[in-house]
Structure 1
Amino acid sequence: MSAPDERTFTALRTQLHEAAEAFAEGPDGLQGILLGLVDDVERAVREPLEIFPVCHHSPASALAMARRLRDKQPKVVYLELCEDMAPLLPELRNCKLPVALQAFASEADGFPSRWSPLSVVAPVTEASAEYQALAYALDTPGVELVLVDRSSDHVFQWDARGETSAEPATAQAGPDAPPPEEEAALHGDAVGVEIGDLRPRFADLEEHLLRHGRVRHWSEWWHQYVELPLGDSDHDTYRQVMFLIGSLFRRLAPGDAHRVRVDEDRERYMWTRMREHLAASGTDPADCLYVCGAFHAASRVAEFGVRGSDTFEISPVSATRWQHGLIPSSHAAIEAQFGLAAGSVSIASTVWAKNLRRTRVKPYRLAGQAGTRKPKAKKAAAASAAPPDRATAGDPAVPPPDKLTGFLRQEPALDRLDEAELLGWSVEIVRAARRNGYLASTADAIAVFETSILLAGVRERAKPTPYDFQDAAVTCIEKDTVPGRRDVRRLVEIMMGGDRVGRVGYDALPPLARDVHDRLAPLDLGLQQRGVRRALLDIAGRPELAHCSDVLWMLRYLLPQGAARPIMGERKLGERPIQESWDLALGTHQRALIELGYEGVSIEQVLEQRLRRRAYGPQATAAVVLEAVEAATLHLPGRRFADELGARALEVLSGERTVDGAPEVLRRVRRLLAYYRTAEPALPPWIESFAKAGYAHYCTLLPTAFTDEDATVPQVAAMLGFLFSMESLALSLGCDRTQLQLALAQSHPRDASKTALLWAAQTQLGHLTRADVRARCAELLGNPLTLEAYPRYLSGFVNALEPVPELTDFVVEAVSEAFGRLPDPVLLPWLPSLITTLRAGGAELAPLLIREAGRTFPGRLDALDAWTPPWRAQPAAEDVRPARGTAGGRPAHLLAAHPATCDAMADLLGCEGTWHRSGSQSPGLALATRHPETSKALEALLASA
């Protein structure tokens, strides 16, 4: 094999040397950069294994790739893509592009836990060089496709988030990035991997190119000065120009040590993998094609080339368990993730289709995808048997021609104005604007047409680009207002191709997603399509739809808001659905459904895992665990898992030292207790233990909570509500009421609201009467020193309705007295606090007060003048106690009037006796005299009532 000619780029080197001396006044720094560019190009061109440089989602790269694949017919295609994504590639046949290859890990093993979940995506569009290479390799017999880039695990191993911050390592959005929309969020916060990230990393260089190119953003500069000139270039010119651009951006990149190290390690990784494959398979490098980004093609690492060194050691992967699949993507998602201008990928797709029609190049498409037909066997065999053109196959015996000198010297091609195309754009944008509420007319279409030509001339272009037309349309149509939901810029993007959203086919879905669609098949709604579908479930008429209802409620719990939204119907403990109505958008949220499939094989399994992870997490509280218990009871069959979580709730409650979650604990345990009492023959052991342990736990914390400034009044009220509502169950399980009495006796609140709450609790226990509390309130109103604090006492009484709802009439009385006696300077500032208190507990407290006030106050306005409050009209029944010496003060007459009650009480106490009269004494009185303990018990019972 003869040595290549070393004088191939001599003329270009000479010209650059002279330019360096002329512009830099000396052949020092600038000469090193310019001549280094030529060295990089020559090194890449002379490599025996042909390197094909590409740019991400570039129509020119895709067109050049399709041409080269048909000319060369390589036997091995090395592709810059995560090597662990190779099993996903055949599933692209079942998808509608654009889609993204994804590696997902719900739990990070070997990485910081704050990074979880880990996600890596690699989007694929039809107008991209990587798709052309994939389609060629997968559909051509005898061709091997090898992914050589670092694995998804290495993406995070080499990530800098551990050294800097915990933010996702996604591409930084540029100033021309699109706004966040629903389609732009299809990739979530995944790390993006693309082939050919070709953008200046030197901000001053990009600003210089944009200013002198008279464009607004990088996507427009690339379209005008790279896409269009390279669209009709030959293979050698395309390669050398892309090598030159990659080398330029690489040499002028800022000195970010970590980013440089990652770039070089990726190149070492890929060349190491390619040499390993060549050595193992024995393939001739001349029969191979290496597809990579132009930035990596101009590499200067020692491992570069088939003859490079083998000093790079690939580190082992971590213990993280990775799941792989396909998720839907969109043009907006690609633009948002990689910082491209809004609409640039859609415009690239339009340019790709236009180039195919103009050049008549036949692209590669996967058989069976997007309505394509499988090529006939004869044509496929003829294509595979076509001999490659060794003159252009990168043979090292043939010196590579210098195409850069001619390309850099040639003047920009003056493309003729396509008036028919521009006129069609102008008419179409006016039609779209009128549909969206703009007052556009034929005159606006003419103005857009002429302004587009004018802008192109100002920017020194012979033909208006889509970006020129977009600016002209905004200027001539939008004026100063946007009447509808879309502005003119967005309308132009839609007209140019729109935001195409991909879809993953049924056969490419994970088992969980397929199971969901199978279980929802009775709805017959086509849920794989995008958009909202309305589902009507008549469960009473069609009982088999109850299973669909179960699936939908679990999806509502697991998927983002909007994927499954109930319109009519709800799921509560102890209730059975009759009819339900749903708005379903599973096709729109297909990515979230697919990622559920990475966590398990059924939604029940995923739901159980998530509930367990939440209940056993480091931040779990008793309220959080009880919420998980309720969710498990509602959605999962059987009681095993709910009982397990209930035992966990008991464990968490015992370890809590604050009362922050007391209101939520009270609400949830009340619902669960009511459900188990009506739906189960016996209470589960865990809830009995929870009531017993909670009673002792809150009794212990009660004195501290009354004096703790951090414990709010609603939290203390919730503690008392738990103690009073669970008291009967706790006492039956062995608790002692003395615990609560001692806790209240040890409570000495300093806050007025908590003091009123303590009075309400003492009233519930019988330690205070209403007359005592009424007297204390009257004393507060009559003392000028405590007058301003009285509203806080009322707030405490309002919160006391949670543990002691029997005080509702007294609270109405206290509030009425306050409105009647408090002066306006005290009353008016207190009203917002009262409204806030009622709003916070409005679901339970406000209806009680309103109902009691309706019973107390007159219903007619004319009756208000003659109305007397009932608490002033006569003493309360409980405060009028008969004298102990009178007959009415003893229960004897009641016993004589109701002998059956006395007989039942006597049987309960185990007393034997018969009714008899002794003189004037009634038989009940005689029996009460014989059993004084019964008389005392009844007397105490009547007194407490």
Structure 2
Amino acid sequence: MSGPQESTSFTALRGQLQEAAATFAGGPDALEGILLGMVDDVDRAVREPLEIFPVCHHSPASALAMARRLREKQPKVVYLELCEDMAPLLTELRNCRLPVAVQAFAGDVDGFPADWAPLSVVAPVTEASAEYQAIAYALDTPGVELVLVDRSSDHVFQWDRRAEHTQEEAAPPEDAEAALHGEAVGVEIGDLRPRFTELEEHLLRHGKVRHWSEWWHQYVEVPLGDSDHDTYRQVMFLIGSLFRRLAPGDGSRVKVDEDRERYMWTRMREHLAASGTDPSDCLYVCGAFHAASRVEEFGVHGSTDTFTISPRTATTWQYGLIPSSHAAIEAQFGLAAGSVSIAATEWAKSLKRTRVKPFRLEGQAGKKKSAKKTAVAALAPAPRSAVAADKLTGFLRRPPVLDTLDEAELLGWSVDIVRAARRNGYLASTADAIAVFETSILLAGMRDRAKPTPYDFQDAAVTCIEKDSVPGRRDVRRLVEIMMGGDRIGQVGYDSLPPLARDVYDRLAPLELKLEQRGVRRALLDMASRPELRACSDVLWMLRRLMPQGAARPIMGERRLGERSIQESWDLALGTHQRALIELGYEGVSLEQVLEQRLRREVYGAQATTATVLAAIEDATLYLNSRRLSDELGTHALKLLATERSVDGAPEVLRRVRALLAYYRTSEPVLPSWIESFVKTGYAHYCTLLPTAFRDEDATVGQVAAMLGFLFSMESLALSLGCDRTQLELAVAQSHPDEPSKTALLWAAQVQLGTLSRAELRARCDELLDNPLVVPAYPRYLSGFVHALEPVPGLADVVVEAVSNAFGRLPDTVLLPWLPLLITTLRSGASDLAPLLIREAGRIFPGRLAALDTWVPPWRIPQSDPFATARPKPAPDVRRGAALLTAHPSTCDAVAELLGYDGVWAQSEAPSPSGVGLLSTHSATCDAVVDLLGYDGVWAGTATGPNASGGAMLTAAHPATADALESLLAGG
């Protein structure tokens, strides 16, 4: 065992490697230097007084060797290669189901580029890992101290300034389970993989394997599974030295690696000096790549004044645990799919075979530490030998041990995979199980292996069962991964959740659902019979606003301004999206606080627009019911509106301000002051931009229509607040568009203002159709008329008439290419206007097909007075006007002076007809009265004869009626 007085001798190994180098290279060269340098690295690491324990991440062999060494050595201090600022979180692991990841999160950055935010660092922990064994031993053994010595989360990003993120950062995968870590930077103990591409390709080709995980399993995991402690350490030191010496010499990656090693040894020496601990009582757990370090600060006796740890930035970091999974670890660290699951299976098999008692945190996975485990942990350390022998020479010269075929295990695998395949739609049978069994043995023999590995079995199953199609959503390779252990997904316990997450679970407790479990849960909320569920509804709507899609999905019910559902149905998957819920807890202590912070961040951001602020106001009203926040955001919307110089957001502004106005008018006694100011400011603002928007080629017709819609729909409120309608009239008068669609829009605005009549608009449309030079552009005019329904919905009949004329008169060469444009215009820019057009067309066109042949459009019917022949226009009665002016001479003189008339007024000497004379003068009126009364009796009196009219006879018979009619016509 290594210690302060230990010495090792690798003289024989050096001699053999020197002879091999001379033989293969023909003389001393770089190969000899690399081989001898590897031996020097192993010798240096073994002789270090502070015992170094090299590991590889998620390696069952490393975990098994760690469990053995901890029980044998029982160190008092365990130095662990993990971000030093994550130490307080490790005690919370006992409340979780592994795998989980320790996370450092920073939403607001100070000292880093703003576009890096949010910053996140994760360190996954699985049960089949050496780091978990060290953590469990240190936390549950009295008198043992666990010290994390790697760079802090802040330094992870400080050192990434000069280069892109390294292999520790991988692009987020598309698979939901593999994306549990999101875009976080992953740090792990023992990133042991060749950084020399040609070396990895060489190892894979000569090892007859497909990927690195399979090579490691075959040539490192299996041989080291049952080796002693010294052999394990020296082999891992040798592999780490090999990969380090053959790594590319690029400055960025090498500097980061060396800085990490300097950082860790500096922290360990500081702790040793402060605590006075004997290095022989310590254990340093690190990746094998860093164990073979050549920096000057290496070892307890290394240089102490050559490295200075830089201070952290002012960024505030928050820490927590998030669920992880085997797929997430594989995706983030570039491992083969299923390799972590296979490692977990190998770990369980190794424990049964070797009967090593692993360390497990008390309470982990619902189990308590047994009395036997406590007794073993209290045993005295075993005596150590003075000299550690050279184990590398024997290990390298030993031929590979060919494991005997375990027919029972392979046969069980074959039967299980066929059963799983049949459940997933494959036509598999017993013959396929036999074929998989034999093919696995055949593939192992072709790859110089007596015992098929899980990877050999996987290839055989794909070959024999999948064939050429996949009937279900899982292929055979995925079925093998599930059979070998599956993608285990961890869970963070309630006690380890941040306050916000615990608050969410507590507030949703009345639903009586197990929301902490993975999968979808259906929640039914009947607020009419259970009013207490309204609070749950509020929480669910906020979760829908804040969390990723699928975490809280409404099936029935909606929440809009002024509307609340009395019954709702939800699909909830909070357990599946536990990571997102935990990260919400980093932003605040309650959902309301987080939502308010996000709304403020959106509103006051550099990319915020007026429409963005109005959307935030709507959300603040819907979810927070906060009048204070709405007023504050509304004031900010005024500032943004006044500074905008484009009309890009006009449609969204119009839609949202209309909805807010309708809500406030129905729910508030008076309008908020900010919205009144917004309407007043918007009226003047859009009037100013209107002429420019009509001429601007970048401004679409829909945006200009939205501006006019704002001006016309808000006109009454704006005028009541003191705006001047003349400003709008001048803006329309100054608009001179060149584009046909905008020209049609301008005509609609002129009709709304009264400067253009409907008859004139129809005449202009007819002129366009009569002009052969304009006919190809007529569809563009129609597109403008369709958008004009937004500001002037009363023109629906004119638009229907224009479209109908287009279908009737345009040639096919113009009409057919335009139809797709009309459809896309209605679907994209005017989807809410289509019902208006359809309703108007339904009113105008006949309801039955048979009536269409004889139907005449209303716009083709002559607009004449049907009573013009029966009822001629009566002459004006000047008598009443003369009498009125005579009675009021002063008014007459004032009107004459106003009109500039200074003539002499003459009086009429003709007596006014009265009685019979009046009726005789207006015989037609008398006849109309006779017809109205239906009089058809015999007329008596002097007015008889063939030429006597009905009116004369009626007057003679009824003189009193004649006098009443005279007084009526004469005005009394």
TM-score under structure 1 length normalisation: 0.91
Looking at structure 2, the residues matched to 157 and 179 of structure 1 have their Cα atoms a distance apart, in angstroms, of 25
Amino acid at match of 2:315: T
1:269 aligns with 2:257: no
Amino acid at match of 1:84: D
- Residue of structure 2 in register with 1:742 after alignment: 730
Looking at structure 2, the residues matched to 5 and 225 of structure 1 have their Cα atoms a distance apart, in angstroms, of 29
1:397-436, aligned counterparts within 5 Å? 398-436=386-424
Query: How far apart are 1:873 and its partner, in Å?
Result: 1.5
How many percent of aligned residue pairs carry the same amino acid? 79
CA distance change for structure 1 residues 747 and 240 in 2, over 3 Å: closer, same or farther? same
8 Å contact from structure 1 (residues 141, 384) kept in 2: no
Looking at structure 2, the residues matched to 153 and 920 of structure 1 have their Cα atoms a distance apart, in angstroms, of 109
- Residue of structure 1 in register with 2:177 after alignment: 183
SS of the equivalent of 2:638 reads helix
8 Å contact from structure 1 (residues 54, 129) kept in 2: yes
- Residue of structure 2 in register with 1:227 after alignment: 221
Looking at structure 2, the residues matched to 329 and 94 of structure 1 have their Cα atoms a distance apart, in angstroms, of 14
1:175-214, aligned counterparts within 5 Å? 180-214=174-208
Amino acid at match of 1:822: L
CA distance change for structure 1 residues 782 and 42 in 2, over 3 Å: closer, same or farther? same
SS of the equivalent of 2:365 reads coil
8 Å contact from structure 1 (residues 178, 341) kept in 2: no
1:540-939, aligned counterparts within 5 Å? 540-875=528-863
1:317 aligns with 2:312: yes
Deviations 1:325-350 (A, max 9, x none): 00000000000000000000000000
Structure 2 residue corresponding to 1:290, chosen from 284, 293, 300: 284
Looking at structure 2, the residues matched to 887 and 333 of structure 1 have their Cα atoms a distance apart, in angstroms, of 95
CA RMSD of aligned residues (A): 2.0
- Residue of structure 2 in register with 1:329 after alignment: 324
1:368-517, aligned counterparts within 5 Å? 368-376=363-371, 380=374, 382-391=375-384, 398-517=386-505
Looking at structure 2, the residues matched to 163 and 404 of structure 1 have their Cα atoms a distance apart, in angstroms, of 39
8 Å contact from structure 1 (residues 58, 127) kept in 2: yes
- Residue of structure 2 in register with 1:91 after alignment: 92
Looking at structure 2, the residues matched to 383 and 281 of structure 1 have their Cα atoms a distance apart, in angstroms, of 27
Query: How far apart are 1:887 and its partner, in Å?
Result: 7.3
SS of the equivalent of 2:82 reads strand
8 Å contact from structure 1 (residues 178, 332) kept in 2: no
SS of the equivalent of 2:523 reads strand
Looking at structure 1, the residues matched to 539 and 169 of structure 2 have their Cα atoms a distance apart, in angstroms, of 38
Query: How far apart are 1:391 and its partner, in Å?
Result: 1.3
Query: How far apart are 1:164 and its partner, in Å?
Result: 4.7
8 Å contact from structure 1 (residues 46, 400) kept in 2: no
Looking at structure 2, the residues matched to 887 and 832 of structure 1 have their Cα atoms a distance apart, in angstroms, of 58
- Residue of structure 2 in register with 1:49 after alignment: 50
SS of the equivalent of 2:564 reads coil
Deviations 1:650-706 (A, max 9, x none): 110100000000000000000000000000010000000000000000000000000
8 Å contact from structure 1 (residues 198, 246) kept in 2: yes
Query: How far apart are 1:608 and its partner, in Å?
Result: 0.4
Looking at structure 2, the residues matched to 89 and 63 of structure 1 have their Cα atoms a distance apart, in angstroms, of 21
CA distance change for structure 1 residues 86 and 6 in 2, over 3 Å: closer, same or farther? closer
Looking at structure 2, the residues matched to 884 and 626 of structure 1 have their Cα atoms a distance apart, in angstroms, of 58
Looking at structure 2, the residues matched to 542 and 3 of structure 1 have their Cα atoms a distance apart, in angstroms, of 73
Looking at structure 2, the residues matched to 101 and 497 of structure 1 have their Cα atoms a distance apart, in angstroms, of 23
8 Å contact from structure 2 (residues 620, 626) kept in 1: no
5+ residue gaps, structure 1: 393-397, 893-918, 922-945
8 Å contact from structure 2 (residues 679, 717) kept in 1: yes
The structure with the largest alpha-carbon Rg is 2
SS of the equivalent of 2:525 reads strand
Amino acid at match of 2:65: A
- Residue of structure 1 in register with 2:963 after alignment: none
8 Å contact from structure 1 (residues 178, 335) kept in 2: no
Amino acid at match of 1:267: E
Looking at structure 1, the residues matched to 369 and 913 of structure 2 have their Cα atoms a distance apart, in angstroms, of 113
1:341 aligns with 2:336: yes
Looking at structure 1, the residues matched to 367 and 298 of structure 2 have their Cα atoms a distance apart, in angstroms, of 39
- Residue of structure 2 in register with 1:897 after alignment: none
Looking at structure 1, the residues matched to 584 and 791 of structure 2 have their Cα atoms a distance apart, in angstroms, of 42
Looking at structure 2, the residues matched to 589 and 404 of structure 1 have their Cα atoms a distance apart, in angstroms, of 48
- Residue of structure 2 in register with 1:940 after alignment: none
- Residue of structure 2 in register with 1:24 after alignment: 25
5+ residue gaps, structure 2: 882-911, 915-972
8 Å contact from structure 1 (residues 54, 196) kept in 2: yes
- Residue of structure 2 in register with 1:218 after alignment: 212
Looking at structure 1, the residues matched to 207 and 3 of structure 2 have their Cα atoms a distance apart, in angstroms, of 44
Amino acid at match of 1:624: T
SS of the equivalent of 1:536 reads strand
Query: How far apart are 1:3 and its partner, in Å?
Result: 8.7
SS of the equivalent of 1:446 reads helix
- Residue of structure 1 in register with 2:918 after alignment: none
Amino acid at match of 1:387: A
SS of the equivalent of 1:643 reads helix
8 Å contact from structure 1 (residues 178, 340) kept in 2: no
CA distance change for structure 1 residues 563 and 318 in 2, over 3 Å: closer, same or farther? same
Deviations 1:428-455 (A, max 9, x none): 0000000000000000000000000000
Amino acid at match of 2:575: G
Looking at structure 1, the residues matched to 465 and 142 of structure 2 have their Cα atoms a distance apart, in angstroms, of 53
Query: How far apart are 1:129 and its partner, in Å?
Result: 0.1
| Paired residue total | 875
Amino acid at match of 1:62: A
Query: How far apart are 1:884 and its partner, in Å?
Result: 12
8 Å contact from structure 1 (residues 40, 243) kept in 2: yes
Query: How far apart are 1:403 and its partner, in Å?
Result: 0.2
CA distance change for structure 1 residues 3 and 795 in 2, over 3 Å: closer, same or farther? closer
Deviations 1:271-303 (A, max 9, x none): 111111111111111111000000000001111
TM-score under structure 2 length normalisation: 0.88
Looking at structure 2, the residues matched to 681 and 322 of structure 1 have their Cα atoms a distance apart, in angstroms, of 46
8 Å contact from structure 1 (residues 622, 653) kept in 2: yes
Structure 1 residue corresponding to 2:248, chosen from 236, 249, 254: 254
Looking at structure 2, the residues matched to 843 and 78 of structure 1 have their Cα atoms a distance apart, in angstroms, of 65
Amino acid at match of 1:171: E
CA distance change for structure 1 residues 887 and 747 in 2, over 3 Å: closer, same or farther? farther
Query: How far apart are 1:414 and its partner, in Å?
Result: 1.3
Looking at structure 2, the residues matched to 319 and 178 of structure 1 have their Cα atoms a distance apart, in angstroms, of 28
SS of the equivalent of 1:102 reads strand
SS of the equivalent of 1:600 reads coil
1:307 aligns with 2:301: yes
8 Å contact from structure 2 (residues 3, 50) kept in 1: no
Amino acid at match of 1:347: I
Of residues 28-37 and 185-194 in structure 1, the stretch that sits farther from structure 2 once superposed is: 28-37
Looking at structure 1, the residues matched to 159 and 572 of structure 2 have their Cα atoms a distance apart, in angstroms, of 40
Looking at structure 2, the residues matched to 206 and 179 of structure 1 have their Cα atoms a distance apart, in angstroms, of 24
Deviations 1:468-492 (A, max 9, x none): 0000000000000000000000000
8 Å contact from structure 1 (residues 96, 503) kept in 2: yes
Looking at structure 2, the residues matched to 262 and 18 of structure 1 have their Cα atoms a distance apart, in angstroms, of 35
Looking at structure 1, the residues matched to 846 and 185 of structure 2 have their Cα atoms a distance apart, in angstroms, of 68
Amino acid at match of 1:259: R
CA distance change for structure 1 residues 773 and 885 in 2, over 3 Å: closer, same or farther? farther
8 Å contact from structure 1 (residues 563, 586) kept in 2: yes
8 Å contact from structure 2 (residues 642, 685) kept in 1: yes
SS of the equivalent of 1:789 reads helix
